[in-house]
Structure 1
Amino acid sequence: MSIKLMSLNVKGLNSPFKRSLFWKEALNSKGDIVCIQETHVCQRNPPKISHPRFQQVLLSTYNKKKRGVLIAFKDTLAVSIHQTYIDPQSRFIIVLCSINNIDYTLVNLYAPNRRQKAFFTKLFKKIKEVKRGSLLICGDFTILS
C-alpha cells in the first residue's frame, strides 16, 4: 500500500475560512499524511484545527501568531504514535510511529531565515538520537545562499 504525503506552507490557519480551504485541499489531493508549515497558531487561544477524516492531528504552537507546524493523519491509515517531539520554538515536530505496521520517523519542519546551520545541526542531532524505521522529512527548508 502506498502512502501519499502532502506538504504545504499555509501562512496561517487562524481564519475558519482558511482552515476550510486547507482541509478541502488535503481531501482533494488525496493526502494520507498532511504536513503544514507556518500555522501561526498562538499557544494562548488556539483555534480548533480538526477534521472528521483526519482523526490524529499534531500541532506545535508558539507564544505569538508566527511559526508553527502541523501533522495530520487520515483516518484510512492504521497509525500508532509511539513518541512525539515538539520543538519549543515551534519549528519542527518529530513523530515516531507505525503506519500499517511499518515503523517510521516523520519530521515536519519550518526552518528559520537566520541561524540555519545551528537549527539544522540541532534538528539532525535530535533525529539521529531518536530515529526508528524509515525516515520521512518534509517541510519548508528556507534555504538561503
Structure 2
Amino acid sequence: MAGSSSHITILTLNVNGLNAPIKRHRLANWIKSQDPSVCCIQETHLTRRDIHRLKIKGWRKIYQANGEQKKAGVAILVSDKTDFKPSKIKRDKEGHYIMVKGSIQQEELTILNIYAPNTGAPRFIKQVLRDLQRDLDSHTIIMGDFNTPLSTLDRSTRQKVNKDIQELNSSLQQADLIDIYRTLHPKSTEYTFFSAPHRTYSKIDHVIGSKALLSKCTRTEIITNCLSDHSAIKLELRTKKLNQNRSTTWKLNNLLLNDYWVHNEMKAEIKMFFETNENKDTTYQNLWDTFKAVCRGKFIALNAHKRKQERSKI
C-alpha cells in the first residue's frame, strides 16, 4: 500500500517504550507487515541522545521529538516507497508532539503527532492547537494518544464527557477539525485501550482531520497488535493521482436511485447520522459539511457493492 499511486495509509500507535532492542525489532517487523505510507508512534521513551536507536530498513525518513528523560517521545516515520518532501518541522522540547508539513504523493499534507500527558490532557491539546494555529491548515491530520475520550461512545462506561473535553471539542470545531474515525463510524464501540485497574475500555487514541480532507478519507479502522497495551488506528486517504486522467468532481450514479434497497440503506444511514451528530455543540455548517461527506462515502460503498454483485452473476 505504501507505494500505491491512488492512496496513502497512515498508522498511529502508542508503542509504550522502545528502549529494549527486542521491542524495536518487533516494531520494525510490525510496520513492515502493515506496509503503511506513514507511521506515527507515541511514547518511544527515547531521549535526545538515543534517537539514533530508532532505525527501520526501508524507512530512512524518521522525524522525532524527544526530551531529556526516558518518557514521552513521538516520531513520524515515512516509507521509502512514499514520495515525501518535508517543508517545515516543529518539535515539542519535552517530546509530546511533532508536526511535519510537506508534500506526500505530490499533495500538501500537515501531520501532527501528539502524545498528551496523563493529567490535563484536554487542556494540553487545546494549548497545542493554539500554539500551532498558523500551521494547521485545510490539509491537516492530527493523530496520536490524546489520553482522553472525545465522546460518550469512547468509554465502555458511557460516562458523559466533562467540561474540559467539551471545550476541547469546541476548539476542534472552531479550527474546522473533526473526529474522522467517529464521523465514519458514528455508532462504533471499538476501543483502543483497556485499563486493568478500572476494568474499563476506552478510545483515547484518535484521528482528527480538516473538514476539507474528509471527502478523501476512504477508510479508517482500529487494529489490534501484540506490541503495546494500545490498539493502532489506520487511516486511508485517496490522492489526486487516482483521478489524474479524469474529472476530480465526484458524481452520483443515478442508476442507484432506482434500487429500493439503496433507498432503505440511505434512509437508515441518514437517520443514524442525525441521531448521533445533531446536538447543541455542533454548528449547522459543520453538520451539513460532514453529512455531505458521509452520504458521498455511503453511495460509493453501495455502488461498489452493487458492481460486485453484478460481476458475481456473470
Task: Assess same fold via TM > 0.5.
Answer: yes
**Matching residue within 72, 85, 90 for 1:85:** 90
SS across alignment from 2:49: coil
Instruction: Give the structure 1 partner of residue 47 of structure 2.
Output: 42
> Cα offset for 1:72?
0.3
The farther-off stretch of 116-125 and 95-104 is 116-125
Matched, 1:98 2:110: no
The farther-off stretch of 129-138 and 12-21 is 129-138
> Cα offset for 1:131?
2.5
**Matching residue within 15, 23, 33 for 1:18:** 23
Structure 1 residue runs of 4 or more that deviate by more than 4 Å after TM superposition: none
**Matching residue within 128, 136, 142 for 1:131:** 136
SS across alignment from 1:44: helix
CA distance in 2, matches of 1:133, 1:42: 32
CA distance in 2, matches of 1:126, 1:26: 31
**Matching residue within 65, 71, 90 for 1:66:** 71
Q: TM-score, normalised by structure 1?
A: 0.92
- Per-residue Cα deviation, 1:8-62 (whole angstroms, up to 9, x for no partner): 1111111111111001100101111011000000123445211221120011111
- Contact kept? 2:121, 2:146, Cα under 8 Å: no
CA distance in 2, matches of 1:55, 1:28: 17
- Contact kept? 1:14, 1:47, Cα under 8 Å: no
CA distance in 1, matches of 2:147, 2:14: 11
Q: How many residues align?
A: 145
> Cα offset for 1:115?
2.2
SS across alignment from 1:123: helix
| Sequence identity (%) | 27
Instruction: Give the structure 2 partner of residue 118 of structure 1.
Output: 123
Greater percentage in helix: 2
> Cα offset for 1:65?
0.6
- Contact kept? 1:54, 1:75, Cα under 8 Å: yes
The AA in structure 2 aligned to 1:23 is A
CA distance in 1, matches of 2:57, 2:125: 34
Q: Give unmatched runs, 5+ long, in structure 2.
A: 1-5, 150-161, 163-314
Instruction: Give the structure 2 partner of residue 6 of structure 1.
Output: 11
> Cα offset for 1:133?
4.8
Matched, 1:141 2:146: yes
SS across alignment from 1:139: strand
By relative contact order (CA 8 Å, sep 6+), the higher-ranking structure is: 1
- Contact kept? 1:96, 1:131, Cα under 8 Å: no
CA distance in 2, matches of 1:18, 1:137: 25
CA distance in 1, matches of 2:66, 2:28: 19
CA distance in 1, matches of 2:111, 2:49: 27
Question: Cα RMSD (Å) of the superposition?
Answer: 1.5
- Contact kept? 2:89, 2:99, Cα under 8 Å: yes
Q: TM-score, normalised by structure 2?
A: 0.44
The AA in structure 2 aligned to 1:77 is T
